[in-house]
Structure 1
Amino acid sequence: MRCPFCGNIDTQVKDSRPAEDHVSIRRRRFCPACGGRFTTYERVQLRDLVVIKSNGRREDFDRDKLERSIRIALQKRPIDPERIEQMISGIVRRLESMGETDIPSKTVGEIVMESLARIDTVAYVRFASVYKNFQEADDFDRFVSELRPEDAAANPKPDR
């Protein structure tokens, strides 16, 4: 593993242990050249996934990109970081276990939305607003009213 501080390729592992999510290994490393210490994580990857975008473009699946988008949706929400990591790992495992290496981006988005809906409705709506490309406030209104159809039937909105 190359040292991120000096670029030395000969670093040493000082400690290895399972990470909090129990699906990766956390390694503390030391660089004898510069004395730098850093942490790496090692995960099992069952297969190389390729995401097929809506325009037909193919892109290697990027777990970090998935994590960033989920963390943006969950920003300032009271969700334990360990729970977020478990959800991300669960999504990746589900994608890998589908049996296909080519996965439509729509499938990835739907799985993420399904997972977010189970843990935080605000994050679910935030993610959906980007995923479904909301353009105006009425898009939010329609989407939220679909979340609670019983409220919509009991309290119809007056015409404006």
Structure 2
Amino acid sequence: MKCPFCGHAETQVVETRLSEDSGFVRRRRRCSACDKRFTTYERPEVSFPMVVKKDGRRIEYDPAKLRASLALALRKRPVSTEQVDAATERIEEKLLNLAAREVPTHQLGELVMRELKKLDKVAYVRFASVYRSFEDIDDFKTLVDEVR
């Protein structure tokens, strides 16, 4: 690590601490040339796959869109924010574990449906009815029968 004061390339780690939420590591460092101390923060760089839309466009994964989709399906349902946060984390973990550069929207949609099915059956049916673009009432009835 380069010293921000004198630019010397060699520094020593004096102290290391994990953050409260373990999202990053805080390190106190000392420059071996000028003897000044400074703090660095290290956090992992996470790269989500690109999302491939049905029309072939590629867009960046947006966690806000995922959260908004879940919130819309779960609107006025008895599901806590903590449960939604946990579901979001599980979906994102599965995306990262795929280790793919791209993920089609249908695969992302299936991950969301799996989580919604565990959280709330009504939210699952809401999301699935829009996601699967039901054409008639029989498609909807089949889904409801599947949930029962």
Measure the CA separation in 1 of the matches of 2:48 and 2:66. 15
TM-superposed deviation, 1:45:
5.2
Q: Identify the residue that residue 140 of structure 2 maps to in structure 1.
A: 140
Q: Identify the residue that residue 84 of structure 1 maps to in structure 2.
A: 84
Q: Identify the residue that residue 116 of structure 1 maps to in structure 2.
A: 116
Q: Identify the residue that residue 56 of structure 1 maps to in structure 2.
A: 56
The Cα offsets for residues 58-90 of structure 1, whole Å up to 9 and x where unpaired, read as 111111001001100000110111111111111
Q: CA RMSD in A?
A: 2.2
Measure the CA separation in 2 of the matches of 1:44 and 1:80. 28
TM-superposed deviation, 1:138:
2.9
Structure 2 unmatched runs, 5+:
1-18, 25-42
Structure 1 moving runs of 4+ over 6 Å: none
TM-superposed deviation, 1:124:
0.4
Give the 3 Å change call, closer, same or farther, for CA 23–78 of structure 1 in structure 2: farther
> TM-score of the superposition, structure 1-length normalised?
0.63
Count, aligned residues: 112
The alignment-based identity, stated in percent, is 38
Structure 1 unmatched runs, 5+:
1-15, 25-42, 149-160
- The answer to whether the 8 A contact 1:23-1:89 is kept is no
> TM-score of the superposition, structure 2-length normalised?
0.68
TM-superposed deviation, 1:97:
1.4
Give the 3 Å change call, closer, same or farther, for CA 113–44 of structure 1 in structure 2: farther
Give the 3 Å change call, closer, same or farther, for CA 120–65 of structure 1 in structure 2: same
The Cα offsets for residues 90-109 of structure 1, whole Å up to 9 and x where unpaired, read as 10111011110200111100
Letter of the 2:72 counterpart: I
Letter of the 2:104 counterpart: P
